Amino acid sequence: MIEEFYDSGRIREYIQRGKRIIGTFCSYTPEEIIHAAGLVPVRLFGETVDIMNAYSYIPNWLCYYSKRTFEEGLIGNYDFLDGFVFLTSDDTNQLMYSIWKKNIKVEYSYMLQFPFSVDGTSKNFFTKVLEKFKRSLEDHYSVDITDKDLKDSIEVYNRYRSLLKELYKYRFYTPPKISGSDVLKINLAGYSMLKEEFNDKIEEYINKLSDEEGLPDKPRLYVTGIPIYDPLVFEMIESCGFTIVFDDLCNGSRNFDFEINETISNPIEAIAEGYLLKPTCGTCSRQKSLAIDERLSYINERLKTLNPDGIVIIGDKGCELCAFSQVELRKELAKIKPVLYLEIDFPLAKEQHRTRIEAFLESLS
């Protein structure tokens, strides 16, 4: 069933249907606007492990995600892209926008200004930024994006987010009805699908899931940290005897645990507000509060409800957000639950990680 979500030919099929594909890189990207323009937003994963070309352009100590996506761009694996949209979400993304623009040939590229601080001033500004982005898509693709188009896309994406929330709940059962690895796979598949198609599929899947028997009961983990675009990481953790009952990764719950207010009359303003207020990645925070505290309070709330046996923080030396926050996260979370910090890079040093995960499992018993 999970396999049904995966269809490597889907993107080509969209192109055959006359759709254009826009690559995105960050969970703060307001895909609703791209979708409303009749385009297909696709989050890029960077599947290649061998970096052969990228280091002629960028330092080799950047995050695995930027290296892998760029390498794929260089070797032509993204030749299906008509364009890409970056956000100023961190130094790496700011840098990579210029590097991509210069070296990966596409028809359309755009950098969205993200204001980081949540207050009235930044909300007004972000609304204007998104209005300009909408105009840029309209001009480039000769389309008219009406308020109705935007509202329809908001509805599709709100449904997408609430279905993913629903799917995540099946991990909370005792025993869980679905593993963390399977949820991640579905989640990843959704990134390259038109959300209306994904929504129908996942709804059907959830209906079936409710009748399924539970999985064998195993110690339960909460996972946080860097974005994971490779199911191998979750499979490795779960194969050591755990079930991952929740993850708040950038491509996990932080991607869907919010909604756009459909009652706000200006849909662009609604989108701006929705994305500014979504669970923080450690970038955005309310003025006078700290992003790390906002993240911790998000995690704590979920820990209270889920009561997992332990927490795994997945890190990447090259990810600046992780590099800055991981010490405080480790320290604070260890006050609540046992914590394992797993620093990964690719190719994955599986055996080495397995030893640590198994030792962690033992320490819990």
Partner 1 sequence: MQKQKINLLGFGKLFGPTYKRHLERQNELLEKKRPCGWFFGYHPSELNYVFDIVNIFPEQYSAYCASRGDSPRMIDDYYSMGYGPFLCDYFKCSVAAIDKPELATKPLMPRPDFTVDHHSICFGHRDMAEIHARMYGVKRYSLAFPYIRKEDIGSFDDITKITEWMDKDLLEYTIQVLRDFVTFLEEVTGEDFDDDKFKSVMKVSEETSRYFIEIFKLFMSKPTPGSQIDLANYPFIGFFVHGSKYGLDYVKNCYELIKERVNKKEGVVPEEKFRLMTHGIMPWHTLSLYNYLEESGATFPLNPYAHCSAVLHDSTKPFESLARRVSTFCNVEHELMLDALIKKAKDADLDGAILFENTGCRIVSGVMRPIKKALYEELGIPSLIVEAPQCDLRAMPPERMKTQFDAFIESLR
Q: Which residues bind partner 1 (CB under 8 A)?
A: 56-59, 61-62, 88, 90-92, 94-95, 97-99, 101-102, 111, 113, 115-117, 119, 121-122, 124-125, 128-129, 132, 282-283, 285, 287-288, 290-293, 315, 317-318, 320-321, 323-328, 330, 343
Q: How many residues bind ligand SF4 (CB under 6 A)?
A: 11
Measured from the Cβ of residue 350, the count of other Cβ atoms closer than 10 Å reads 15
* 101 interacts with, out of ligand SF4, partner 1, none, CB within 5 to 8 A per kind: partner 1
* 125 interacts with, out of ligand SF4, partner 1, none, CB within 5 to 8 A per kind: partner 1
Distance CA 297, CA 299 (A): 5
Q: Which is nearer to partner 1, 104 or 156 (CB)?
A: 104
* 97 interacts with, out of partner 1, ligand SF4, none, CB within 5 to 8 A per kind: partner 1
* 94 interacts with, out of partner 1, ligand SF4, none, CB within 5 to 8 A per kind: partner 1
Residue 250 CA, chain-centre distance (Å), reads 4
Contact string (CB under 6 A) for ligand SF4, positions 51-80, x = contact: ------------x-xx--------------
**342 makes contact with ligand SF4 (CB under 6 A):** no
Among 44, 244, 284, 321, binds ligand SF4 (CB under 6 A): 321
Give the number of C-alpha atoms closer than 13 A to the C-alpha of residue 20, restricted to the C-beta side: 17
> Strand order in 339-343's β-sheet?
243-247, 220-225, 310-315, 339-343
- The phi-psi region of residue 286 (left if phi > 0; otherwise alpha if psi is between -120 and 50; otherwise beta) is beta
Q: Which of positions 205-234 make contact with ligand SF4 (CB under 6 A)?
A: 226-227
Residue 245 CA, chain-centre distance (Å), reads 17
Long-range residue pairs from 352-358, CB within 8 A, at least 24 positions apart, any chain: 353/236, 354/236, 354/239, 354/240, 357/236, 357/237, 357/240, 357/242, 357/312, 358/240, 358/241
Distance CA 358, CA 310 (A): 13
SS3 content of the chain, % helix, strand, coil (to 5): 50, 15, 35
* 212 interacts with, out of partner 1, ligand SF4, none, CB within 5 to 8 A per kind: none
* 293 interacts with, out of partner 1, ligand SF4, none, CB within 5 to 8 A per kind: partner 1
Q: Which is nearer to partner 1, 196 or 332 (CB)?
A: 332
**181 makes contact with ligand SF4 (CB under 6 A):** no
Instruction: Give me 347's structure tokens.
Output: 């190719």
- The closest alpha carbon to 64, from 278, 244, 329, 314, belongs to 314
**92 makes contact with ligand SF4 (CB under 6 A):** yes
**122 makes contact with ligand SF4 (CB under 6 A):** no
Instruction: Give me 188's structure tokens.
Output: 């990843």
Instruction: Give me 46's structure tokens.
Output: 């960077």
With tokens 């840029």, the residue in question is: 136
- As measured in angstroms, the least distance from the Cβ of 97 to ligand SF4 is 11
Q: Which is nearer to ligand SF4, 74 or 226 (CB)?
A: 226
Distance CA 81, CA 73 (A): 9
Contacts with ligand SF4 by CB under 6 A lie at 63, 65-66, 90, 92-93, 226-227, 319-321
